[in-house]
Amino acid sequence: MESRGHSNPLLSFSTFIHQHCVRLATRLDDTKRALAQAHHNLLSPKHALAATATLGSHHVAKSLAGTSVYTVSNSNNEFVLISNADGAKSIGLLCFRQEDAEAFLAQVRSRRGELRGKARVVPITLDQVYMLKVEGIAFRFLPDPVQIKNALELKPANKGGFDGVPVFQSELLVVKKKNKRYCPVYFSKEDIEQELSKVSKASRGPGVSQHIAVGSLEDVLKKMEMSERSSGWEDLIFIPPGKSHSQHIKEINE
């Protein structure tokens, strides 16, 4: 997965679209077949030894379940990809805000007349995106600019911009349920602040921001992929925007 964070993501989005052309690629209907094949590959004997040593792609994908991003497809349910002028490289654009996907849709319609009235914004979950990436399909994330701003406020050293999709975590929110440890990771600073406000003041003190660590989704996923089992990285679980960790953990265990 490709991502490039900037202090003004909407400006970079507009510039990026104008510098690239759009075309059609993988049918969204094909994602299920790709996912099924990927899961089959991961369970095959040749992957068994690797699975015992490090976290497998299936485990990483499972931690992402429940969170949706938005892209554009045509009436045949095909992804609209962005490609260089020479067509040498094509990627899918995935937006964390639906309104940004709507802006992408407007650009697609203006550049591809035959798609006018036929293209639409569709959601796709991050676990599906991750498994498609495993199969070799490239994507570019467009983060929520509000969360980029929040991340820069928490990491003032990164004045030139934030590289990647911001994610937020706090050791105060690690929980244990049924002998399993969960370390929730949030896509929204507002969501993690809401969760921390429920923690006793005796544990967190007068404020909450000092207990929040920020990183990028891309870096976290890479570290999960390279980590061994029982290293602690397998405890990470990504919380969909607007949900509490208790609500999400309950849903995935039902």
Would you list the domain boundaries of the chain? 17-142, 147-252
- pLDDT value at position 65? 93
More confident residue, 13 or 208: 208
pLDDT at 181 over 60: yes
Which among 106, 100, 181 is positioned nearest to 141, based on CA atoms?
A: 100
184, 237 contact by CB (below 8 A): yes
pLDDT at 55 over 70: no
Average the pLDDT over 76-84 and give the result: 77
- pLDDT value at position 131? 87
Average the pLDDT over 185-203 and give the result: 90
Tens digits of per-residue pLDDT, 85-111?
666 677 888 999 999 999 988 888 887
Class of domain 17-142: alpha beta
The answer to whether domain 17-142 and domain 147-252 are alike in fold is yes
Query: Taking phi first (over 0 means left), then psi (-120 to 50 degrees means alpha), and beta for anything else, what does residue 82 get?
Result: beta
User: 93: exposed, middle or buried (C-beta count within 10 Å: 0-12, 13-18, 19+)?
Assistant: buried
- CATH for the stretch 147-252: 3.40.1350
pLDDT at 183 over 70: yes
Tens digits of per-residue pLDDT, 111-138?
766 666 678 899 999 999 898 886 677 8
pLDDT at 32 over 90: no
| Alpha helices by DSSP H, 88-215 | 98-111, 126-134, 145-154, 189-196, 201-204
The first and second tokens of residue 131, run together, are 């498994």
- pLDDT value at position 83? 73
Tens digits of per-residue pLDDT, 210-219?
889 999 999 9
pTM: 0.78
- Taking all residues of the chain, what is their mean pLDDT, rounded to a whole number? 78
- pLDDT value at position 27? 52
Look at strands 139-142 and 90-95 and give their pairing.
parallel
- pLDDT value at position 41? 46
Q: Which residues pair with 94 in a beta bridge?
A: 141
Q: Mind giving me the DSSP string for 38-84?
A: HHHHHHSHHHHHHHHHB--HHHHHHHTTT-EEEEEE-TT-EEEEEE-
